[in-house]
Structures are given as C-alpha cells and as structure tokens.
Amino acid sequence: MKKKFIRILLVLIFATWVSFMGIAFLVSKAHGNDFDLLEKGIVAAISSVCALLGPLIYSYNLFPRSKYLESSDIAKPSFKDVCSSVVNTPQGFDFIRLKTEIASKWVITFSDDVEKILKFRTKMGFFKSWGAATWLKYESNAGKLYLDSFSMTGMYTSDLARKMQKEIEKCLKLFEST
C-alpha cells in the first residue's frame, strides 16, 4: 500500500511540475520574455510540492483507517478520535435485520456473523466529506450493541461520528415498533 501511495504521489508531483512548467513557458512567451529553464523549474518544483501538501496530509491520515476498515481485524479501533457508546437492544432484536438496515444506508466493509461484528462507513465524497466509520459489536447475552465511531481523516472533531451513532440508534427504534 505504501509503495502504491508513493508511486501515485511521485506521478502527481511530476504531472503538477509539468503543468506549472507549461504554463510558465506559455506566459513568458506571451509576454515576449526569455524562458529561464532552471529558474522556472525550481519555482515549479516548489509549487508542485506545496500544491500537493494538503492532499498528502489528508491521505496520510486516511490510509490507516481505510486499511483497518477493510481488514478482518475484529478488535476495536485504536484511533485517537473514537466516539464510543453502548446501546441496549430492544426485545426481538435481530442482528441480521440490523445488518440489512445498515447496508441500505452505509457501506459495509467487514462483517462477521459468528462474532456479530460489523465495520461500515459513510459514502465518501471528494467535495463533501471523507466521512465517518463505525465498528459495531453485538453481544446477545448482554443484549447490548457496542459502537465505536470515528472520522475517516482524523482531521476534525467527531461530530460526524456522533451523528452516525444517532442514526444507528434510530435504526434500533425500528425494532421497538415490531
């Protein structure tokens, strides 16, 4: 995963550098100035790195969380911004039905029906939010759902994770009405 990330990063830096060089060449020729390759190359290289610094930091935080969600690791998430809660399940609670409800609203990334563990996330949008994710464990003996939600980037507060937990609690209310 890291090699792929570094490869993508290098391609992006090179593509950005070529774009800056092309624009600098066109601007200098449009104004009738000489094109100093070394000077423009250094400026373009610095601009390329600066332009990609934000996405690089975002991706650095996103990859471990995404890797955790896709893995078969059933342990609770160990990120700093985890929002935890325990919810009592109503009478007649069915884990498979909850899984179906969750699948209709979110993207399930891992499921273990034996251990009754789900990992799922919101749909990610490039211009909206990278979203939040939840680790859910159902203990039928205790009649409890354990929820650990976290933001995908870790770059902001867990407001989105708390909203996700409230949505899960709304799903549980469907069981109370049946």
Separation between Cα atoms, residue 17 and residue 43, nearest integer Å? 9
Mean pLDDT of 124-138: 75
DSSP 76: P
Q: What is the pLDDT of residues 17-26, one digit of tens each?
A: 888 888 888 8
Q: Is pLDDT larger for residue 155 or for residue 52?
A: 52
Q: Is pLDDT larger for residue 4 or for residue 120?
A: 120
SS3 label, residue 156: coil
C-alpha distances in Å from residue 97, one per residue of 85, 86, 114, 124: 21, 19, 15, 24
Examine the pLDDT at 98 and tell me if it is beyond 90: no
pLDDT band at residue 157 under the 50/70/90 scheme: low
Q: What is the dihedral of CA 156, 158, 153, 47, to 10 degrees?
A: -10
Separation between Cα atoms, residue 111 and residue 99, nearest integer Å? 9
**CATH class of this structure's domain 83-176:** alpha beta
* Domain range list for the chain: 2-70, 83-176
Q: What is the pLDDT of residues 40-76, one digit of tens each?
A: 778 877 877 777 777 777 677 778 888 888 899 888 8
pTM > 0.75: yes or no: no
Q: What is the pLDDT of residue 178?
A: 47
